Copies of this chain bind each other. A is one copy, B any other.
Amino acid sequence: MPSGKLRIALVGGTGNQGPGLALRWALAGHEVFIGSRRAEKAARVASELSERLRAVGVDYEFKHGQNQDVVPEADVVVFTIPFKGVRPTCELLAPKIGAGCVVISPVVPMKKAEFGLTIELLPEGSAAELIASLIPHARVVGAFHTVSAGLLNAIPEPVKGDVVVCGDDREAKEVVMGLVRDIPDLRPLDGGPLAYSRVLEALTPLLITLGKRIGQPDLGVKFI
C-alpha cells in the first residue's frame, strides 16, 4: 500500500455521497476514479466535478469508467451505493478487486419505521461484514456513515464532525483514517473491529430522522 497519493475508485460514485468524497479527495491530491454502472454517466459526472474544481481555481481531471473498469488498479475502493446494490455489485466486482485492496463501506441497510428510519438487521450483522464475506480477499473498513453528502459537496467549506472507522486490518484502517484527515475538519476515531459496524451503521438512520425533526438535514455527530 503506497502512502501519500492514492488511487481511489468510487463505485457508484455518481450517486449521493460519491461526488462529495471525490471532490474532497481530489483536493487532497489523490487520483480519483468515478465509477458507475453506465460509462456515459460516469463520464458526465467526472466532467461536471472537474468543472466544479476549476470553479474554485483547481485544475484537475477525474478519471471515470464503468465500476468494473475503475476498480482493478485502485488502492482504495469505496462502495458509495445503496444497500440494495451491495450483493450484485460485490458479485460483479469481486474478481476485479485486487488482493489486499482497501474497500471502504459507508453503506447502511435502512428501512422505514413509523417514527422515521431505522436499521435493517442482516444475518451477516452489518453491510460492511456482508461486503467482507463477498470479497474475502479485500480488506474491508467501515467509515463515513455519519457524514452528509450535502456537507461533503460544499467545497471548499470544512466539514465538521467525527468519522468512526472500524475494520479488522490495522494498516487498512490507518489508510482510511488518513483519508478522513484529508477532509478538513473531519476527525477519525478508531472504532475497533469490523463487527463494530453493527452498531455504527445504526447511527445513520438515527441522524437522518433526528435531522429532519429538528430541521438540520445535514446533521453530523461529534463525540466529546
A residues near B (Cβ < 8 Å) are: 113-116, 118-119, 121, 160-161, 164, 189-193, 195-196, 198-200, 202-203, 205-207, 209-211, 213-214, 216, 219-224
Contacts and interface: CB of A to CB of B under 8 A. Distances in A.
Contacts of A191: 209-210, 213
With most chain B CB atoms within 10 A of its CB, the pick from A202, A206, A207 is A206
Contacts of A161: 224
Contact of A219 (B195, B211, B219, B223): B223
A202 B199 contact: yes
7 contacts: A115-B192, A118-B199, A161-B224, A164-B210, A199-B202, A207-B223, A220-B223
A6 to B, nearest CB: 25
Contact of A196 (B115, B219, B222): B115
Q: Main SS of the interface on chain A?
A: mixed
Given A192-B213, A219-B223, 8 more contacts: A115-B198, A116-B192, A121-B121, A190-B214, A199-B209, A220-B223, A221-B221, A222-B224
Given A161-B224, A221-B223, A199 B119 contact: yes
Nearest to A218: B224
A60 B15 CA distance: 59
A207 B210 CA distance: 18
A195 B160 contact: no
